[in-house]
Amino acid sequence: MEFSWIYQETESHQVKQFLRTKGVSRGLLAKVKFQGGKIEVNGQIQNAIHYLAFGDQVTITVPDEKGYETTVPVENPIEIVYEDQHLLIVNKPAGVVSIPSQLYPEQTMANRVKGYYCRQNYADQVVHIVTRLDRDTTGLMLFAKHGFAHALMDVLLRENRLTKRYVALVTGSISGSEHQKIELPIGRTPDSIITRMVKPEGKYALTEFWIKNRFPLATLVDIRLHTGRTHQIRVHFAHLGHPLIGDDLYGGSHNQWIKRQALHCQELEFVHPFTQENMHIKAPYPTDIRQWLDAEKELV
């Protein structure tokens, strides 16, 4: 895949210095140099220490990524919400984990996306997960379709320029204002490698939320994550005494519609790192949350 820029500085710098300002890491530049890629300036092959002049066109050709044999492609379908040559955004169903592990070696979203890449015969077949979700959380997952896109999206994540918004049904009626923040540190519980809890020595965590609707037995909330701690939303609301409906790991109860934590990643918002377009991707409510809401509205 080719990427091009015009050098617009009056002071001369080396190609590698210029590429660093465009997000090309040392690792990616090494792949270009040693794994079949190339650097061109005005159509002529050059090396990374070549000095640039104003108006030069710099083009790098990044070698294809053939993929890891450990990520087995599977035939399960994926629901594509958005796709271009750099990014893939899918709507993840409940009950599917994000990445392979000893417990789930194949039936993961990564395996499904790898299968899709193979069926499409894409040149780049490494699965780059930018945002992941818990097994029973539904909604938007973002994949980068090549390593350069992954690196640039990671920058957006680190700088908090990729906004993730969730909707959740939490037990009980949350008191207070319509707009609140939960700023409490999260760490592992002492007797488990799975669960987390609010603890003073934990890592900083910030969850912002807006109350969308109050029902007799639950509250519908719109959530923005500012940090990405494990189980952050589930832990924060459980600590407030309002565990997510269906979240038996943190004290939420099931009902006839919802058998898993009622959490859905509904929106992703960011500036596209290649096109500079303002991206605002949304996914509809999943069936179980929608059915619960419909039933509650009928009772009101």
Task: Tell me what the mean pLDDT of segment 228-256 comes to.
Answer: 94
115 pLDDT more than 80: yes
126 pLDDT more than 70: yes
CA dihedral sign, ordered 266, 271, 273, 275: positive
The 3-state DSSP class for residue 177 equals coil
Per the prediction, the chain carries an average pLDDT of: 94
CA distance 172 to 241: 8
CA distance 77 to 99: 16
CA distance 251 to 245: 9
283 pLDDT more than 80: yes
**Alpha helix ranges (H) inside the chain:** 15-21, 26-34, 109-120, 147-158, 232-239, 287-299
Asked if 3 contacts 63 with a C-beta cutoff of 8 angstroms, the reply is no
Task: Tell me what the mean pLDDT of segment 227-244 comes to.
Answer: 96
Highest mean pLDDT among 96-105, 236-245, 247-256: 236-245
CATH architecture assignment, domain 163-265+290-299: 2-Layer Sandwich (3.30)
Please tell me if the domain spanning 65-159 has the same topology as the one spanning 163-265+290-299: yes
Task: Tell me what the mean pLDDT of segment 268-294 comes to.
Answer: 96
The residues annotated as belonging to the active site are: 134
252 pLDDT more than 80: yes
Q: Kindly list the domain boundaries of the chain, sorted by start residue.
A: 2-61, 65-159, 163-265+290-299
47-84: pLDDT as tens digits: 999 999 999 999 999 999 876 678 899 999 999 999 99
pLDDT of residue 300: 40
Banded model confidence at residue 246, pLDDT cuts 50, 70, 90: very high
Residue-level length of the chain:
300
81-114: pLDDT as tens digits: 999 999 999 999 999 999 988 778 788 999 999 9
pLDDT of residue 100: 86
290 pLDDT more than 50: yes
Banded model confidence at residue 221, pLDDT cuts 50, 70, 90: very high
pLDDT of residue 203: 97
Q: Which CATH class is domain 2-61?
A: alpha beta
Which CATH number among 3.30.2350.10, 3.30.70.1560, 1.10.238.10, 1.10.3720.10 corresponds to the domain 65-159? 3.30.2350.10
